[in-house]
A and B are shown apart, each in its own frame.
Chain A
Amino acid sequence: MARTARKRALGAVAAVACAALLAACGGGGGDDSADGETTLTWWHNGNNDPLKGYWEGVAADYEAENPGVNIEISALQNEDLRSRLTAALQSNDPPDLFQQWGGGEMAQQVESGLLMDLTEELPEEIESVGGSAAGWQVDGATYGLPWSLGVVGFWYNKALFAEAGVEPPATTEELLSVIDDLEAAGLTPAAVGAGDKWPAAHYWYYAAVRECSEETLTQAGVDLDFSDPCFERAGELVESIVSAQPFNRGFLGTSAQQGATSSAGLLANGKVAMELMGHWNPGVMSGLTEDGEGLGEDLGWFPFPTAPDGEGDQAAALSGGDGFSCSVTAPPECADFLAYVMSPEVQRGFGATGAGIPTVQGTEDSLEDPNLVTVAEYRDQAPYVQLYLDTAYGPNVGGALNDAVSLLFAGESTPADIVAAISSASS
């Protein structure tokens, strides 16, 4: 009988209640204190030592020299940081200084007007990192600065290579025969953390760098058009490697960095001969062995082999970096602190931790690890460095790409499927 009346009554109650609460909610926010003290919130992904402690020290030094500035650090695990950052940036109270990977994701943030334009604020610092800043620029303006830029390549076990009597391959064809020889010697040639998807996708990114010209890749980053046949050839190159079956048992569920059975752990413990991975691998590996040493002297590095028939620049490097951006609402001290982070002395100290490869020109000499020195040299000699494609193309297309490539590793998709997946994600 009184159904509609009931509903109306209830609706009114609910509306009033919510309105009251929202009115109460509206009062929040606005924490900038007026007493001359400035607080900088800083979100980064260095939640492990040495980086964690190093950043704490940097913040403390800056605070000591700049009385009245407090730096509040949130050191978050990488994946946690990513999932929180977007929502946080959109809120009333975004972090002031935060981790920035550049590329398409950053372009979205710029488009939404969330980032501080650093072009005028930090011209010297932008100059000091040279071409490395490219991934953090949109339409000629700079919105972030990379403080570490590394190159992806093969980390390998010299002792196991010697045992099988093979040398680091220069071409993809040689890579396939190295795989055969390692297998013939009773070794597992390679580990890949396909459970995390991006380590598998790195094969495709590099194959695309070898198969596609720089213009094609750059243009694809702008208009997200993947119709050039070189993208399908990239998939075929990856397929030829996968079908040689070089990977560790259960690689589809293997993680990249978690524990002794992760891909880095397998390499560190001498269970596999090589792994395609970023520059941070020695640091990760040393944490995954009982003695904290990793492979030690046996660890070597070689770049991704060339594909002589490809249209790409065969000396080009696939890289990714870590940078920082200031949010548009950040106080001016943010840029000043970022300048301090990018100063040669802080960069040198960073290089000495071995947690990455500094970007400020002239500070590479602070690297102590010989393998990192090799990586830095390869980076500096490359005609251009291509940002990780998932970062470059933004989280949506990049995510679809990583999914599709990991399905190729599972034998559940084809090179053409990959192109189709990223094309439909970009439309």
Chain B
Amino acid sequence: MTLLQHDRGETSADRARARSAQGRPPSRRGSSASADDWRRRGEVLLLVTPALLLFCCFVLLPVAQAAYYSVWSWNGLTPLEDFVGLDNYREALGDPVFRGAIAHNFWIVGLSLLVQLPLGLGVALLLNRPMRGRALLRMLIFVPYVLAEAMAAVIWLLMLQPDGFMDAALESVGLGRAVQLWLGDPGVVMVTMMVVLTWKYVGFAIILFLAGLQGIPPELHEAASLDGASWWQAQRAITLPLLGPTIRIWAFLSMIGSLQLFDLVWIMTGGGPANASSTMATYLISQGFERFRYGYGSAVAVVLFAISLVVALLYQRFVLRRDVADRLGGRRR
């Protein structure tokens, strides 16, 4: 999403340049050109500085510090004096628990796409029709998404206790055999997490897809049905291609979110049992901060960032590029 607009920036700049060549209003031209230039620069500085200051001080600086700490063995107390080079990175990438955490993250990335895409798309297609109470419906579907992850985690944690609401509910509908140790069995816990994550985030997909669907002109469907196309054919031939950009952006947001997952897992399982639900972020907190290995934790943070960055860049290179090409070809808005 980001680089996509970056590319378009050039076109606008070109456009602007062309415009100024055509001639600007008199007040900004002529002998005072360089004075105006300086004023312009001053204005830019004035406008950009507060945001840049905030961003530098509270985002870039701490992130840079984290990168710096990552090459030291440091307990957070002593002065930085034990330089270890890349040892922290070597140890992290060699630790089966961290590798497991990375695998869990990618598992979540993959399954989120595989489960939420068809589910979200299917429901959105079904709901994309005039229906009484649709506004209300949209709102209700949005509930889990706007709920704080911490609060959702507390509620699910209580519901999933052994002999709690979930077990009793399953038993009452005759599914007592399906009862599992939802959060206590290393073989089950990731499936449980996926269910909770799907609950929390599928509504977001539905709403986003619905918004995308409503941007498709109904005339296209009318034309298709005049041509004798069935509903499914019309969806396949018209809706899905036109919804492409929305789907690709949703997938991007979903992947980045999955790679950074923390609150929900931290409150529900702390990464357990036996590390079966750890993610990169929970590993970072439990191995780095709780054991006072700030250098090591910082190395894990850098790895987490690097993985997110690579995924994002690859995705933009190979998937989102098409949208840019589309857009440069003919603006659809």
Asked if A108 and B77 make an inter-chain contact with CB atoms under 8 angstroms apart, the answer reads yes
Asked if B291 and A410 make an inter-chain contact with CB atoms under 8 angstroms apart, the answer reads no
Asked if A86 and B291 make an inter-chain contact with CB atoms under 8 angstroms apart, the answer reads no
User: A330 to nearest B CB, angstroms?
Assistant: 16
User: A189 to nearest B CB, angstroms?
Assistant: 17
Asked if A249 and B269 make an inter-chain contact with CB atoms under 8 angstroms apart, the answer reads no
List residues of A (113-136) whose CB comes within 8 Å of B's CBs.
Answer: 114
Residue B37 CB within 8 A of the other chain: no
A108: contacting residue among B158, B184, B292, CB under 8 A: B292
Asked if B186 and A250 make an inter-chain contact with CB atoms under 8 angstroms apart, the answer reads no
Interface bits B44-59 vs A (CB < 8 Å: 1, else 0): 0000110011001100
Q: Is the interface of A mostly helix, strand, loop or mixed?
A: helix
Given contacts A108-B77, A109-B77, A253-B183, A20 and B273 within 8 Å (CB-CB): no
Residue B225 CB within 8 A of the other chain: no
Asked if A111 and B78 make an inter-chain contact with CB atoms under 8 angstroms apart, the answer reads yes
Q: Is the interface of B mostly helix, strand, loop or mixed?
A: loop
Interface bits A14-39 vs B (CB < 8 Å: 1, else 0): 10011011100100000000000000
Given contacts A109-B77, A250-B185, A259-B161, A195 and B53 within 8 Å (CB-CB): no
Residue B195 CB within 8 A of the other chain: no
Residue A1 CB within 8 A of the other chain: no
Given contacts A395-B290, A395-B291, A252 and B185 within 8 Å (CB-CB): yes
Asked if A195 and B77 make an inter-chain contact with CB atoms under 8 angstroms apart, the answer reads no
Given contacts A17-B56, A114-B77, A395-B290, A249 and B181 within 8 Å (CB-CB): yes
Interface bits A120-164 vs B (CB < 8 Å: 1, else 0): 000000000000000000000000000000000000000000000
Asked if B53 and A20 make an inter-chain contact with CB atoms under 8 angstroms apart, the answer reads yes
User: A26 to nearest B CB, angstroms?
Assistant: 12
User: B141 to nearest A CB, angstroms?
Assistant: 31
Given contacts A17-B52, A108-B292, A86 and B76 within 8 Å (CB-CB): yes
Give bound CA distance, A254 to B181, whole Å: 10
Given contacts A83-B290, A252-B184, A406 and B53 within 8 Å (CB-CB): no
List residues of B (66-84) whose CB comes within 8 Å of A's CBs.
Answer: 75-78
User: B76 to nearest A CB, angstroms?
Assistant: 5
A261: contacting residue among B163, B270, B274, CB under 8 A: B163
User: B270 to nearest A CB, angstroms?
Assistant: 7
List residues of B (193-251) whose CB comes within 8 Å of A's CBs.
Answer: none
Residue B289 CB within 8 A of the other chain: yes
Interface bits A252-287 vs B (CB < 8 Å: 1, else 0): 111000010100000000000000000000000000
Asked if B274 and A252 make an inter-chain contact with CB atoms under 8 angstroms apart, the answer reads yes
Residues of chain B contacted by A90 (CB below 8 angstroms): 76-77
Contact-residue size bin, chain B (C-beta under 8 Å from the other chain)? 35 or more
Residue A5 CB within 8 A of the other chain: no
Residue A251 CB within 8 A of the other chain: yes
Asked if A22 and B184 make an inter-chain contact with CB atoms under 8 angstroms apart, the answer reads no
User: By CB atoms of chain B within 10 A, which of A17, A21, A108, A251 has the most?
Assistant: A17
List residues of B (86-119) whose CB comes within 8 Å of A's CBs.
Answer: 97
B181: contacting residue among A112, A250, A259, A410, CB under 8 A: A250
List residues of A (66-99) whose CB comes within 8 Å of B's CBs.
Answer: 79, 82-83, 86-87, 89-90
User: A100 to nearest B CB, angstroms?
Assistant: 14
Residues of chain B contacted by A13 (CB below 8 angstroms): 48, 52
Residue B144 CB within 8 A of the other chain: no
Residue A375 CB within 8 A of the other chain: no
Asked if B77 and A112 make an inter-chain contact with CB atoms under 8 angstroms apart, the answer reads yes
Asked if A252 and B273 make an inter-chain contact with CB atoms under 8 angstroms apart, the answer reads yes
Give bound CA distance, A252 to B57, whole Å: 42
Q: Which residue of A lies closest to B287 (CB)?
A: A399
Residues of chain A contacted by B185 (CB below 8 angstroms): 250, 252-253
Residue B265 CB within 8 A of the other chain: no
Residues of chain B contacted by A48 (CB below 8 angstroms): none
Residue B155 CB within 8 A of the other chain: no
Asked if A86 and B56 make an inter-chain contact with CB atoms under 8 angstroms apart, the answer reads no
B residues engaging A (CB < 8 A)?
48-49, 52-53, 56-57, 60-61, 75-78, 97, 158, 161-164, 181, 183-186, 189, 269-270, 272-275, 285, 287, 289-293
Q: Could you write out 8 A-B pairs with CB less than 8 Å apart?
A: A20-B53, A83-B285, A86-B76, A90-B76, A109-B77, A253-B184, A253-B269, A410-B274
Q: Which 4 A-B pairs have the closest CB atoms?
A: A253-B184, A250-B184, A252-B273, A410-B274
